[in-house]
Amino acid sequence: MVLEVVRNLLDEDINCASRRKSLIIVLGYDARSKLESLKNYKDEPLTVNSILRSRRDVHVLFLNSLQYIFMYLIKLEVQPDSHTHLVIYGLDSLINEMCQEDSLDLNQVRAANLIFQTAYRVSRQNQLQEVLFIAYDQKKWDKLEPLRKYWQEVC
């Protein structure tokens, strides 16, 4: 799914007034490796427009700690930037690194709640058009999805 999201962001018309200014936050080494290995979509070269979009409107931030994502989200809350879309990829992978068990423990639930709540609060305060969480591993993500839905509704 991350491939489709990135490709859609890069393929938008560069001259369109409603183009999305997106921040993609990639969490953890696994998610970063997967994103960096995507290089080209079906061996198609990037178009000039997609290269320009990647430099102007799509920014990627790699973070390897839950504390860093929380701190960055707090920074966005206090000091808004020009992004209209926030994409967070790999939260499930980073939360799973805390404890390798099949079920979520209390610390993992707390961390997930904190990140979801802060991301949706930033979205509301900065009037972002979209906050999108993308799973690294769908099986692990299924445990976090009810928490995400809750915070999306509450905020």
Domains of the chain: which residue ranges?
Answer: 20-39+51-154
- Residue 118: is its pLDDT beyond 90? yes
Determine contact, residues 101/42, Cβ cutoff 8 Å: no
DSSP state, residue 118 = H
Tokens 């390798």 appear where? 100
Rounded CA-CA distance 127/85 in Å is: 10
- Residue 55: is its pLDDT beyond 70? no
* pLDDT classification of 133: cutoffs 50, 70, 90: very high
Determine contact, residues 147/116, Cβ cutoff 8 Å: yes
Q: Which of the pair, 108 or 20, is modelled with greater confidence?
A: 108
3-state secondary structure of 123: helix
Q: Tell me the pTM.
A: 0.84
Ranking 45-49, 55-59, 76-80, 146-150 by mean pLDDT, the lowest is 45-49
Q: How far is CA 97 from the centre of its chain?
A: 17
Q: Right CATH number for 20-39+51-154 from 3.30.70, 1.10.287, 3.40.50, 1.10.3470?
A: 3.40.50
Determine contact, residues 50/13, Cβ cutoff 8 Å: no
The pLDDT assigned to 119 comes to 98
The pLDDT assigned to 39 comes to 59
